[in-house]
Amino acid sequence: MVSHFSASAPSACRSVSSRCTRWVTSRQKSWAEPVTRGRFGLWRPKRGRWGTLRLTTTGRRTGRARQVVVGYWEDGPNLVTMAMNGWGEAEPAWWLNLQDHPDAIAETRDGRRQVTARRAQGEERERLWSRWAEIDKNLDDYAARRPTETAVVVLEPRDATEPGA
């Protein structure tokens, strides 16, 4: 069998396995981390498409930093996302964390910014939901699978003059 891995690859990688995949992925990530300054896998929203951001929240039970990558789009200075857990019943942990500790860090392809999260309500929610529906034509069908209303989350920039900002 011919190996396509370098001599530095673990001996278990002489044949294809999940360990090899993890090794290759970790090598790619360790290379990409300094080059992209930690923004590997993040992209900007484009016309008719959402982007991805890395959200760092504070754990509601542990108080420790927790990270998740979520889809978003921009609404003026705000970033907008939806609190969904694969359209399952449960609320995602990151949203539960934000409800207890609304201050977070949003890292986009353009850099990091300190934000405060809140749930969009009423007319604002309807406007933002409609915008998501323009991006994802099946949004209402997917949302109908959930027993509760999907929260539209607005990440507002924190004022740089605030203490702790």
Q: Note the pLDDT tens digit of each residue in 42-55.
A: 989 888 899 999 99
CATH assignment, 51-157: 2.30.110.10
From its phi and psi, is residue 79 left (phi > 0), alpha (psi between -120 and 50) or beta?
Answer: beta
Q: What is the pLDDT of residues 59-85, one digit of tens each?
A: 999 999 999 999 999 999 999 999 988
Instruction: Please give the DSSP secondary-structure letter assigned to residue 162.
Output: S
> Against a cut of 0.75, is the pTM above it?
no
Residue 157: its H or E element: strand 151-157
